[in-house]
Amino acid sequence: MNSGAARLSLWLLLTPFLLWIVLLVLVPHLQMLRVSFQVRESWDTLAWGLEQYQNFFTESYYWRTFVRTGVMSLFTTFLTLLIAFPIAWYIARLARGRARGLLFLACLIPFWASELVRTYGWMILLRESGLFSSWLQALGWADGPVEMLYNDVAVIIGLVYNGLLFMVVPLVTTLDGMDENLVEAGYDLGGNHATVLREVVVPWAMPGIVSGCIVVFMLTLGSYLTPILMGGKDSAWFTQQIFTQFITRFNWEQGAALGVLLLVLSSIIVWLGLRLTGQSLRKVMG
Amino acid sequence: MGVESDLFCSGLVRRFGSNAAVDHVSLDVPAGTFFSILGPSGCGKTTLLRLLAGFDRPDEGDIHIRGARMNDVPPNRRPVNMVFQHLALFPTMSVGDNIGYGLKRQKVPSAERRTRIARVLEQVGLPGMENRNPGELSGGQRQRVALARCLVLEPTLLLLDEPLGALDLKLREQMKIELKHLQKAFGTTFVYITHDQSEAMVMSDQVAVMNDGRFEQVAPPEELYREPATPFVAGFVGDNNRLAGKLESVRDGLADLRLDDGSLVRGRLGQTAPNIGDRAELFIRPESLVLGGDALKSEYSSLRASVTATLFDGANSRLEADSAGQTLYARLPQDGSAPRLREGASLQLAWDPMLARVFAPGAA
């Protein structure tokens, strides 16, 4: 009786989680997987096959777009790390009390607006008739309006901005737990700034660095609005391919295959990253 | 400055706001000595150590190590290494890498590095532990790794910031002795800070007692115990009974003190002597108090007291007695020479006036 009640309460507690996993994660993905292996033979007949997957590897436009998206995402992640590390260091080690809370808030505030609003904010700054362009003209550094949107740099700026918070938070958490004496010991035993950073601080912060990088990388790879809005129609982001297949060309089978490939290939990249840095997913996420 | 001195400081001052954490401290540590700085928490000893290590700069005064002025030398260029309170072993490195870290910075080639790491591990009694993770070691072993990490660099001066504080009592006793032996074996000059007087007394050649940013007395442990220079030292180092009264007369360096209940006691006048008629304090160690009447010599000073309790603690057994509202402790020898005492019994506590010290009342 008692164990029955305990079991019931366990199931009740698990229900929301199970519903979430099964209905919102497992079922759609399995459905997507199924659709991706269907080959449309004519308007009312379907066969099973790998044609969509073959398309990805034979049509160079698909895999080139994927490689480009992956490389740019990796670069964005690296850049985000470079920018976020000093910020996190300052928040975790140097700022005290009130200043610390305010700085954290400053990182958080942009995320109270939607990605769309944030991206349009950047567009206001970067466009031909935008703030930066008019400043450059006012300072006499440019003769006419300068278009800073619709190129890869603009895309990366937008993506780094979107990823920053997700890098700062895990870094602050790990750096916060580091004993100040470790840094002092690093200097005391003869290390300079570079060696202390390389041998003491970075190894300590590695779990935070890796988890931040995974989140930012996945977020960047899967982002849609920012590359489209800031990169223009030629930005060639992989998510755009998926959108085109599903919506424009109404080719759900191809779109599903591309979606599955995005999931698989990005997982492989993350796995490689973990292997190369000698971290395990459990350590990083735990 | 002594020719042989490894560390020489003059007039060191470090202020935080209006409060001087280190207030005109001068010290001279000869090469190869075990020098302790003993003081209660908040006395400025950690600040002083951080000045020596280079993590903080003095507002005034100079630091010389082997004759070279160190004030503007950053910590990584000082011939000084520090064992931190919580050791600060690098958790992401193996024991061998922890010890090799400093050698690598000195650009010691890797083959030589390996032999030196192996040798120093042998010296601290952890042979073959190179590949272990610091997290797998016991408290005492970690302690030794922290020492080895510094000693392998052969520093002129090794600073130790209460490294035994985190150990349990038994291990602490053992490490105390071991540290002393290691210091002798390596011949390195140790500057050790602690609030634990037993650590300072057991290990040191010289002890500086620090209070409120200043050195009260610098002396070998035994002298500190037998000849305290100030009431603070008398009260802080070892157990002491304190009797408050008024200074009545002084003759041949012996002072007569009139206690508040009217009885007269006698002790040797200390360095900070009060004027006749001023308040004064007499310090007498528990082991200097003699119980009972028959063994009394004529020159002994004595006091009537009633027994409050007997506190049995093996060799440290004590008698708690009350004399006109002042509590006194006397050592109870466990060799059968002490009389059986009941609670409330009245007895005579006597002492040789040469073993008691009279000071003007101190702050502590």
Minimal Cα–Cα distance from B1 to chain A, Å?
26
More confident position, B261 or A218: A218
Q: Using DSSP, how many helices (H) and how many strands (E) does chain A show?
A: 15, 2
Strand partners, B242: B283
pLDDT in tens, A29-80: 999 999 899 888 777 778 888 888 888 889 888 889 999 999 999 999 999 9
pLDDT-derived band at A198 (thresholds 50, 70, 90) equals: very high
Q: Is the pLDDT of residue B2 over 50?
A: no
Q: Is the pLDDT of residue B296 over 80?
A: no
| Tokens describing residue B326 | 């002042």
Top mean pLDDT of A26-30, A37-41, B345-349 is at: A26-30
Average pLDDT on A94-115 reads 86
The mean pLDDT of chain B is: 88
pLDDT of residue B364: 44
Chain B residue numbers with beta carbons less than 8 Å from the beta carbon of A185 are 82, 84, 88, 90
Report the range of poorest mean pLDDT among A36-45, A68-77, A153-162, B135-144: A36-45
pLDDT of residue B340: 73
Report the range of poorest mean pLDDT among A138-142, A197-201, B271-275, B344-348: B271-275
Chain B residue numbers with beta carbons less than 8 Å from the beta carbon of A195 are 105
Report the range of poorest mean pLDDT among A121-130, B241-250, B336-345, B350-359: B336-345
Nearest residue in chain A measured CA to CA from B152: A189
What one-character-per-residue DSSP string does A202-239 give?
HHHHHHHHHHHHHHHHHHHHT--HHHHHHH-TT---HH
pLDDT of residue B362: 66
Chain A CB within 8 Å of residue B49 CB: no
Average pLDDT on B10-18 reads 91
pLDDT in tens, A177-188: 898 899 999 999
More confident position, A78 or B258: A78
- Position of tokens 């079991």? A7
Please tell me which of the candidates B88, B93, B102 has its beta carbon nearest to residue A190. Answer: B102
Distance of CA B206 to the CA centre of its chain: 9
Residues B148, B150, B151, B153: is their CA dihedral positive or negative?
positive
Three-state helix/strand/coil letters over A27-83? HHHHHHHHHHCEEEEECCEEEECCHHHHHHHHCHHHHHHHHHHHHHHHHHHHHHHHH
User: Helices B110-123 and B169-186, interaxial angle, to 10°?
Assistant: 120
pLDDT of residue B7: 92
Q: Could you give the 3-state DSSP secondary structure of residue B81?
A: strand
Chain A residue numbers with beta carbons less than 8 Å from the beta carbon of B120 are none
How many contacts, defined by CB atoms under 8 Å, are there between A and B?
Answer: 63
Instruction: Just give the CATH number of A62-285.
Output: 1.10.3720.10
DSSP tag of A127:
S
pLDDT of residue A172: 93
Flag if A185 and B82 touch (Cβ within 8 Å). yes
pLDDT of residue A46: 81
pLDDT-derived band at A149 (thresholds 50, 70, 90) equals: confident
Report the range of poorest mean pLDDT among A4-8, B4-8, B271-275, B336-340: B336-340
pLDDT of residue B63: 93
Please tell me which of the candidates A182, A187, A190 has its beta carbon nearest to residue B90. Answer: A182
Which domains does chain B show, CATH number per domain? 5-232 (3.40.50.300), 239-359 (2.40.50.140)
What is the pTM (predicted TM-score) of this model?
Answer: 0.81
pLDDT-derived band at A286 (thresholds 50, 70, 90) equals: low
pLDDT-derived band at B1 (thresholds 50, 70, 90) equals: very low
Chain B residue numbers with beta carbons less than 8 Å from the beta carbon of A206 are 92
Q: Is the pLDDT of residue B363 over 70?
A: no
How many CB atoms lie under 10 A from the CB of residue B277?
A: 11
> ipTM of this complex > 0.85?
no
Residue A54: phi, psi to the nearest 5? Answer: -65, -40
pLDDT of residue A231: 87
How many CB atoms lie under 10 A from the CB of residue A149?
A: 21
Average pLDDT on B252-275 reads 82
Q: Is the pLDDT of residue A250 over 70?
A: yes
Q: Is the pLDDT of residue B293 over 80?
A: no
Q: Could you give the 3-state DSSP secondary structure of residue A282?
A: helix
- B172-207 burial string, b = 16+ CB within 10 Å, else e? beebbebbbebbeebebbbbbbbbebebbbebbbbb
Chain A residue numbers with beta carbons less than 8 Å from the beta carbon of B76 are 187-192
Average pLDDT on B109-117 reads 94
Flag if A188 and B80 touch (Cβ within 8 Å). yes
pLDDT in tens, B45-95: 999 999 999 999 999 999 999 988 998 999 999 999 999 989 999 999 999
Flag if B76 and A181 touch (Cβ within 8 Å). no
| Tokens describing residue A169 | 């938070």
Flag if B88 and A184 touch (Cβ within 8 Å). yes
Rounded-to-integer distance, Cα A148 and Cα A164, Å = 21
Distance of CA B220 to the CA centre of its chain: 10
CB-based burial label for B52 (10 Å; 0-12, 13-18, 19+):
buried
